[in-house]
Every structure is written in C-alpha cells, then in structure tokens.
C-alpha cells in the first residue's frame, strides 16, 4: 500500500491511497470465500462453487464490490495510523480506479483555535432601558385584554370584535379554508388567514353572507401562494364585543394576590419591567463580549462540522412541529438542498462560537461537577407546575444530565469572559 499525503487544508487532510496488486487479489479471494458461503448455485454444494463459476453467476462487479467494502475501510484505518493522523469524523472516500485500486480520502481533522486576547476585550455595557409610565400602562392594558369578557351584540361587525362564522374557500377550484363556527377576532391589518380578510368582515351583520376574492401579495411568506386569488364565502352567525374590566383595586386583586390596590399593581409591573430590562441588558452584554472574542480569534475547522450542525438544526425544527423531514420541507416550500444552503451561515456561526467557548473552557480550566448538575435539576423540577417526578426522571438520565452539564458549562464560560471583560475595563 502506498499512501500520499497530498495536502492539509481547512483542517482536512487529503490522501491518495494506492493498493498493491497482491493486496487487491487477497481481498478478492476473501470476498469470494464470503460470497460463496452465502450463494446457492445449481450443481454445486453450498460453498463449493469455484471462483470462476461464482463470478459468472454473480458478476465480477459483485465480487469487486464485496472486496472493496472490506479493503477500503481497512486500508484507510492503516493509512491514517501510518500518517499519524487523528480523524474526528468519518472521511469522504472516492474510488478513482480499480486496477490497480486507487482511492482518495478527505479526512476531517481536529479544529484549531487561536484565541484572541480576552483580557483586552473592550466592551461597554449598554445602559438599561428606562421604565416609563407609558410602558407600565401598556402592560396594564394587555392585562385588561387578557381578562376581558365577550358579550353578544346586535350590530354590524366592528374592528376588535370576535365573530363566529362559517367559511368556505378555494384556490383555483381546490379547497383552501373550510370551517364551521370558527372564531375570528377582527383586527386591522391582520395577516391571518391572509391580508385584507379582516377588512372584508367589517360592517357585516349577523346571519349575513358575503362572497369575495382576495390576492396574496408579492411579499407573502409562503412563496407558493404569492399571486394566488382564493374565493371566499363567509356567513357571520354571532358578533361579540370585548368588555374590558374597569381599572380599579378589584381588577388589581384579580391579577395578583400581592396587589391590593391598582397602584400596587402598577408598582409590581414596574418592578417586573425593570428586572426584564436588566436581564436583557445583561444578555446583550454577554453576547457582545462573546462576539468580540470570536472576532479576535482565529478558528479553522473541517466542513463536516457545519454539515452536522445543519443536520441538528433541521432535526430540531422538524421535531418542534412534530413533522418528518419531508413534511417539514413541504411546509416551508423548500428542497433539502435549498434549506441546507440557507442554514449554512447560521451553522458556521454556531460552530465557530462553540469552538471558541470550548477553547476558553480548556484554557481557564472551567468544570461542572455532579453537585452543580443536581442543583440545576432541583431548580428545574421546582419550577415545573406538574409531573415533577416524571420530569426529574427524564433530567436524571445520562443524556439529560449531559445536556444540563453542557448548558451549565457554557453559562460558566460566558460568565468568566464577562468577568475578564469587566476586569479589563476597570484596569
């Protein structure tokens, strides 16, 4: 066997492996002995047919394929051992000729990360957003809508109303939306079920029927519907008006047991908004610190890591919708290749970030112990509203503990970078 290390590029080793004729013949002979034991040929006892007969019966290609399936991976393993190459994933292998046997291999190598100087990161924290009276009033108003009641009215539909209606529709003769006694809140510029649908309902009376046609705009998210013109037939059966609760102390007590008055509710909302603003500022600062370090670092890694991250993202998205891959692709109207190319920049960014953080873990000797994982599981279980025992059992599986450990490690690493950045700023 002759191994030529052509080059190393983008953390990938490019090898050419050429087998000696004797090695190829030995592999073919081994393939013959394996295949002849699995093949029944008329006129011969099982396992006793000569090689020439087996080749005529199965075809030389079958014998060659069996031989290559064993020889190529064995030769690859021997080659990287001889070359002292440490592969981190399965290689790409291409057989370029069979007589003599020559195949090319692209071997993914361990990523290389040269960290930027974390101790000279200059990132200024953004000031925390101020909580205004308008912010507080907006939240209170949202709470009023959440606790509103709906009363039947005998008047035409107005914006803000909740209507009960029957809908029949089609696009080019094919069913589109068909529903009996569906609920729909009539809101200005609502995109559901399509733009301008709500505007068609405004002014309708109870038991009135209306037929109309709309067109999906050029900027509609679902490209397959752009320009299509569904026909609608709707019948309004009920019209309900939103009745908002009065802003008083009774309303405050309905919202929170800790709020005895409307003023105390406003104070509680103000406190919550301030905490959210501080949390957002903290997360934004952490993100900028990490991004700054990533920008200062030199990172090289094999392309397969991006492909694996793309696979992970696609699996996550399809599982979130309880869909198989084909269903998910159909729902977003994209081919697998189109989706992969769309996700490549995001996957590259995630891989780069993870490798930089991993290097920080090594250099700063950051660890997560079992006690910390147990504490986190306890907090997660305590926050759960029901099925706490079942949740704890899932979290305590090896996979669950590993996932929690990785999340804690990332959190501790980012916290360490923030400490370094703040210390650098002070000095």
Report pLDDT for 386. Answer: 80
* Structural domain containing residue 211: 149-243
Mean pLDDT of the chain: 93
Strand partners, 241: 151
pLDDT beyond 80 at 425: no
Q: Percentage of the chain surpassing pLDDT 90?
A: 83
Is 182 within 8 Å of 164 (Cβ atoms)? yes
User: Left if phi > 0, otherwise alpha if psi is -120 to 50, otherwise beta: which for 202?
Assistant: beta
Tokens of 42: 């008329």
Q: Tell me which of 318 and 371 has the higher pLDDT.
A: 371
Report pLDDT for 27. Answer: 96
pLDDT beyond 80 at 355: yes
Report pLDDT for 86. Answer: 95
Strand partners, 175: 170
What are the backbone angles phi and psi of residue 152, rounded to the nearest 5°? Answer: -65, 140
Is 256 inside any structural domain? Answer: no
**CA-CA distance, 257 to 91, in Å (whole number)?**
62
For the domain that residue 28 is a member of, what is the CATH number?
3.30.70.1050
Tokens of 99: 């007589």
Is 133 inside any structural domain? Answer: no
Q: Peptide bond preceding 100: is omega within 30 degrees of 0, i.e. cis?
A: yes
pLDDT level of residue 427 (50, 70, 90 thresholds): low
Is 127 inside any structural domain? Answer: no
Q: Specify whether 75 is located in the same domain as 199.
A: no
pLDDT beyond 90 at 380: yes
Q: Specify whether 93 is located in the same domain as 9.
A: yes
Give the DSSP per-residue string, 258-282: T-SSHHHHHHHHHHHHHHHHHHHHH
**CA-CA distance, 309 to 345, in Å (whole number)?**
11
pLDDT beyond 80 at 155: yes
Q: Specify whether 96 is located in the same domain as 169.
A: no
Q: Percentage of the chain surpassing pLDDT 70?
A: 99
Q: Specify whether 293 is located in the same domain as 354.
A: yes
Domain finish residue from 243, 269, 304: 243
Cβ neighbours of residue 94 under 8 Å, at least 6 residues apart?
103, 104, 105
Residue range 186-234, pLDDT digits in tens: 999 999 999 999 999 999 999 999 999 999 999 988 878 899 999 999 9
Q: Within 13 Å of residue 269, how many CA atoms lie on the same side as its CB?
A: 22
pLDDT beyond 70 at 252: yes
Residue range 61-72, pLDDT digits in tens: 999 999 999 999
Q: Specify whether 420 is located in the same domain as 314.
A: yes
Give the SS3 label for residue 167.
strand
CA 295 to chain centre: 24
Q: Specify whether 362 is located in the same domain as 289.
A: yes
Domain finish residue from 243, 258, 291: 243
Q: Specify whether 96 is located in the same domain as 179.
A: no
What are the backbone angles phi and psi of residue 113, rounded to the nearest 5°? Answer: -125, 125
Q: Specify whether 188 is located in the same domain as 315.
A: no
Give the DSSP per-residue string, 187-237: -TT--SSSTTHHHHHTTPPTT-EEEEE----TT-S-GGGTT---EEEEEEE
Give the DSSP per-residue string, 64-92: HHHHHHHHHHHHHHHHHHHTT--BSSPPE
* β-strand pairing of 92-98 with 2-9: unpaired
- Tell me how crowded residue 113 is: count the other CB atoms within 10 A of its CB: 19
Residue range 93-132, pLDDT digits in tens: 999 999 899 999 999 999 999 999 887 788 888 888 899 9
Report pLDDT for 194. Answer: 94
CA distances from 284 to 107, 117, 289, 350 (A): 38, 21, 9, 17
Is 96 within 8 Å of 64 (Cβ atoms)? no
Q: Specify whether 221 is located in the same domain as 298.
A: no
Among 141, 80, 392, smallest CA distance to 266 is for 141
Residue range 256-299, pLDDT digits in tens: 887 789 999 999 999 999 999 999 999 999 999 999 999 999 99
Domain finish residue from 110, 140, 165: 110
Among 282, 323, 262, smallest CA distance to 139 is for 262
Give the SS3 label for residue 398.
helix
The H or E element containing residue 163 is strand 162-171
**CA-CA distance, 360 to 410, in Å (whole number)?**
10
Is 406 inside any structural domain? Answer: yes
Q: How many domains does the chain have?
A: 3
Q: Specify whether 101 is located in the same domain as 203.
A: no
Is 261 inside any structural domain? Answer: no
**CA-CA distance, 41 to 80, in Å (whole number)?**
40
The separation between the first and the last C-alpha atoms of the chain, rounded to the nearest angstrom, is 60
Is 265 inside any structural domain? Answer: no
């Amino acid at each position: 066997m002759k191994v030529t290390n052509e080059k190393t590029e983008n953390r990938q080793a490019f090898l050419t492996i050429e087998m000696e004729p004797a090695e190829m013949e030995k592999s073919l002979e081994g393939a013959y002995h394996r295949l002849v034991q699995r093949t029944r040929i008329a006129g011969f006892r099982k396992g006793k047919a000569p090689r020439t007969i087996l080749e005529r019966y199965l075809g030389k290609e079958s014998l060659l394929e069996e031989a290559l399936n064993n020889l190529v991976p064995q030769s690859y393993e021997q080659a990287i051992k001889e070359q002292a190459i440490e592969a981190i994933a399965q290689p790409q292998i291409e057989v370029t000729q069979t007589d003599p046997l020559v195949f090319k291999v692209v071997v993914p190598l361990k990523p290389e990360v040269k960290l930027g100087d974390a101790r000279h990161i200059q990132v200024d924290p953004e000031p925390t957003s101020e909580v205004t009276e308008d912010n507080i009033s907006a939240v209170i108003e949202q709470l009023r809508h959440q606790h509103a009641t709906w009363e039947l009215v005998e008047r035409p539909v107005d914006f803000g109303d909740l209507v009960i209606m029957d809908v029949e529709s089609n696009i080019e003769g094919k069913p589109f939306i068909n529903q009996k006694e569906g609920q729909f809140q009539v809101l200005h510029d609502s995109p559901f079920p399509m733009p301008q649908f709500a505007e068609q309902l405004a002014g309708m009376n109870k038991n009135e029927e209306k037929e109309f046609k709309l067109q999906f705009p050029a900027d509609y998210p679902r490209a397959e519907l752009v320009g299509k013109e569904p026909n609608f037939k709707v019948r309004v059966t009920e019209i309900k008006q939103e009745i908002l609760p009065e802003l008083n102390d009774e309303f405050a007590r309905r919202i929170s047991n800790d709020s005895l008055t409307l003023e105390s509710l406003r104070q509680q909302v103000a406190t919550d908004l301030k905490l959210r603003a501080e949390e957002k500022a903290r997360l934004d600062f952490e993100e900028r610190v990490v991004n700054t370090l990533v920008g200062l670092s030199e990172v090289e890694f094999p392309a397969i890591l991006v492909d694996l991250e793309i696979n992970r993202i696609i699996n996550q998205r399809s599982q979130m919708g309880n869909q198989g891959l084909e269903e998910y692709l159909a729902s977003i109207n994209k081919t697998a290749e189109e989706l992969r190319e769309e996700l490549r920049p995001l996957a590259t960014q995630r891989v780069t970030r993870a490798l930089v953080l991993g290097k920080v873990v090594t250099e700063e000797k950051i660890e997560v112990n079992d006690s910390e994982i147990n504490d986190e599981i306890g907090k997660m279980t305590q926050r759960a509203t029901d099925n706490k025992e079942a949740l704890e059992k899932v979290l305590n599986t090896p996979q669950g503990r590993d996932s929690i450990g990785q999340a804690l490690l990332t959190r501790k690493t980012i916290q360490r970078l923030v400490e370094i950045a703040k210390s650098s700023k002070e000095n």
